[in-house]
Copies of this chain bind each other. A is one copy, B any other.
Amino acid sequence: MALEHAILVSLLEKPGSGYELARRFERSIGRFWTATHQQIYRVLKRMETDGWVTAVDVGQDGRPDKREFTVSPAGQDVLTGWLHEPVQPEAVRHDLAVKVRGAAFDSAAGRAALVDEVSRYRAEHEDLLTRYLAGEKRDFPDISTLSTGERLQHVVLRGGIAYERMLLDWLDEVLIELRKEP
Q: Which residues of A contact B (CB under 8 A)?
A: 2, 5-6, 8-9, 12-13, 30-34, 76, 79-80, 82-84, 86-106, 110, 113-114, 117-118, 120-121, 124, 148-149, 151-156, 158-159, 162-163, 165-166, 169-170, 173-174, 177-178, 180, 182
Distance of A92 Cα from B105 Cα, bound (Å): 28
Copies in the complex: 2
Q: Is the CB of A104 within 8 A of B152?
A: yes
Residue of B nearest to A177 (CB): B155
Residue of B nearest to A84 (CB): B113
Partner of A93 from B32, B83, B95, B152 at Cβ < 8 Å: B32
CB neighbours of A159 from chain B (8 A): 97, 170, 173-174
CB neighbours of A12 from chain B (8 A): 102, 104-105
Q: Is the CB of B162 within 8 A of A100?
A: no
CB neighbours of A83 from chain B (8 A): 99, 102-103, 106, 110, 114
